[in-house]
Amino acid sequence: MVTIELLKAKGYPISILKQPEAVVLAEKTIKIAYFPKDADFTEETIEDTLCALVFALVLRRTAMATRFGTVQKIDGYSQTVEDEKAMKEAKSYAIPFYTDYLNSLETPFDFNDIIGLYDTIIL
């Protein structure tokens, strides 16, 4: 199970996240979108991959919440640039782990690329 504490222990800069429920929801979403139904999440390499993807989704959702929240502190162009920077950083965490994971699978499967990794991954 991915938690804020686990993400912090693995070195992710998670100080912006205050709600553990957001991590629980992100983990459930990632498992459905990026892993086959028979994935064994007890393996350490899969746990690392799961954490990277959860962190990326949490960053994406945090950026979206900030953008559409009641207070927007910067103009629209600046927000777009900030969103792109956040997603680029999120992808930089997730891509190496997920690429290795995909390459380790014997049977390819279709995944739902909700974070937008597909255009960046080269298998």
The residue behind tokens 């995944």 is 111
pLDDT mean over 11-27? 85
What pLDDT does residue 68 have? 47
**Residues 37-95 pLDDT 10s:** 988 888 888 999 999 999 999 888 876 655 444 444 555 555 555 667 767 877 888 88
**Residues 33-51 pLDDT 10s:** 999 998 888 888 899 999 9
CA distance 87 to 63: 9
What pLDDT does residue 10 have? 92
pLDDT mean over 101-120? 85
Q: Which bin fits 11, alpha (ψ -120 to 50), beta or left (φ > 0)?
A: left
* 4-9 LR contacts (CB < 8 Å, sep 24+): 6/51, 7/51, 7/54, 7/55
CA distance 63 to 48: 23
Burial class of 54 by CB neighbour count within 10 A (0 to 12, 13 to 18, 19+): buried
**Residue 59: CA atoms inside 13 Å, Cβ hemisphere, count?**
25
What pLDDT does residue 28 have? 97
For residues 63 and 83, the answer to whether their CB atoms sit within 8 Å is yes
